[in-house]
Amino acid sequence: MNLPARVVDLHTHLFNARYLPLESVIASAMKKDESKLADYVAQLLYALAGSSYADAQDLRADHPLPFTPEDADEHYLEQIWDVVRAGLMERVPADMIAGRSPADLLDQPWDDAPAEPGLSEELVGIIDQLASIDYAAEGWIDPDPLPLHEPVTSFKELGAAPRIVDVLGWARRVIRKALRAATDLMDKFAWGSHVENYLEFFLTMLKSEKAVLKQLLSSYDKLGAGNIQVLHMMMDMQLAYPVPKPPRYPFPEQLRKMEQLKQDNPQSMFGFSAFDPRRDNWRQLADTAIAHGFLGFKFYPALGYLPIGNADPVLESRVAAFFDYCIAGDIPVFVHCTPIGFQTKEKKGLNAHPKHWRALLEHERWRDLRLCLGHAGGGRASNLGVSSAGWMADNDAEWRDADNFARIVADLCATYPNVYCELGYITELLDDPTARELLVANIERARAEAQQNGRPHDFLDKVAYGSDWHMPSMVDNTARYLDVFVDIMNRPAYVAHRDLFFHDTAMAYLKR
């Protein structure tokens, strides 16, 4: 396969659990405002999440367990348990381990290990809270009451002198039950038209920032050292939920940590901060981000706001001021643009409809906004009665439908000088053998329409490669996803655009 010399992945995420309001994210996917189970699972993930910057260890196992698709949930449960076990065993000193067989060590009294305040004690407290969950009240009945799913007890009920093996066995039962219940209750389609494995998402969220970046870059090993750069997108999600709960890291701290990651890896990554018009201090946060090397901003309408036409006059004025700010500095804005996405249970995904961006760009005030429409409208998806065939349209009627996100995105790219798009996370390209040819056919439809309508730009000059890593379906399939586009761009009709698609268009958008 003739690989491109250089690749920019224009759509990635490098944060971990501590950067997200996981209590709200999990509860919302359960279609609830709040949930004790969501709260305690979030606390568990916060405690386990590694940090590259001094306040936590990366406890992930170095050697993943064997994996088969049929055993995916079991695989991820055991991987997460492996991290929990490592955290619990932190309290056991080296001199207690030395000279003992594993069986002998496990038979030692738990209380013989020094109980210094630390991760082990924090985990015991969180696991004890999980053991108290009323699963019936949460709406979950265990469909598979195996021994590992038997009713769990509190830590105190282990007795006055539990052994290490008793504590680990108790913790494993509690953890497995809690994670299975939480992920069973989460709507598998909460974030899109593709079934998500939330256990895999939780596992990925446990890595440190550096480990996340390392995993992402290793997905592109076939390109050779130094030939991949990634654009990292931050997310500011706290205020999107009915009961806002802060992430473990406040947003200014998130900025500092991601700035440090960029400084440590200047040749590998670029960074975008995030904008939320519900923040009174959005301008201060934006100035800080730009001053510290962030190149632009992520704008995520599915979290509850529009690019234009917000009913709330305060939101409307802040969004307008934000776009003025970005135009004044020629600062790039990256937006989610599919009908669903990482929406809350209020299902505001249609806020991302590209018709709203058309309405914005038609104003002379904002026509020069430097904009990238993420996912380029996406694949086939529906939300609240609105359906978009996207890049999977299989006939002219579907392509020309008024709500086909992909068609509108392509037209905006062909019309406006600073409007771009990227083709990340169109999961049909991984699953459907006909999807690749549908994508190509629709690219040609878009190009032909642009020419017929006298648009000044060729769509192929405005579209770039992206993945939306670390969404669960992309983490293990990054190389396959790249291969789809390498195959397409190596075709004789497209080879002249290959460097543009994989590298140059992204750099033009980023002004690099």
pLDDT of residue 62: 45
DSSP 346-391: T--GGGG-HHHHHHHHTSTTTTT--EEEEGGG-SSEEETTEEE-GG
Which positions of the chain have pLDDT values less than 50?
60-65
pLDDT of residue 159: 86
Q: How many CA atoms lie within 13 A of 52 on its CB side?
A: 22
Q: Is the pTM of this model over 0.75?
A: yes
Torsion angles phi and psi, residue 270, rounded to 5? -115, 165
pLDDT of residue 472: 83
Class of domain 7-14+207-510: alpha beta
Distance CA 347, CA 351 (A): 9
Distance CA 208, CA 14 (A): 9
pLDDT of residue 352: 98
Distance CA 461, CA 445 (A): 15
Per-position b or e across 337-367, b if 16+ CB within 10 A of its CB: bbbbbbbbbeebbbbbbbebbbebbeeeebe
Sign of CA dihedral 398, 404, 408, 409: negative
pLDDT of residue 117: 65
- pLDDT per position as a tens digit, 145-172: 655 555 568 888 888 889 999 999 999 9
E strands, 192-257, are 228-233
Please count the other Cβ atoms lying within 10 Å of the Cβ belonging to residue 17.
24
DSSP 504: I
DSSP 163: B
Between β-strands 463-464 and 333-336, what pairing exists: parallel, antiparallel or unpaired?
A: unpaired
The candidate with the shortest Cα–Cα distance to 478, out of 488, 469, 486, 465, is 469
* Residue 299, C-beta contacts closer than 8 angstroms, at least 6 positions apart: 274, 275, 307, 322, 333, 334, 335, 336
Domain ranges of the chain: 7-14+207-510, 18-185
Please count the other Cβ atoms lying within 10 Å of the Cβ belonging to residue 138.
19
Residue with tokens 């019936």: 136
- Tokens representing residue 396 in the block: 């002219």
| Helical H segments across 119-188, by residue range | 119-131, 135-138, 164-185
- pLDDT per position as a tens digit, 249-279: 999 999 999 999 999 999 999 999 999 999 9
pLDDT of residue 143: 77
pLDDT of residue 69: 58
Torsion angles phi and psi, residue 309, rounded to 5? 90, 20
Distance CA 326, CA 324 (A): 5
Sheet holding 463-464, edge to edge: 7-12, 228-233, 269-275, 296-299, 333-336, 371-374, 419-422, 463-464
Q: Is residue 380 a contact partner of residue 331, using CB atoms and an 8 Å limit?
A: no
Please count the other Cβ atoms lying within 10 Å of the Cβ belonging to residue 387.
14
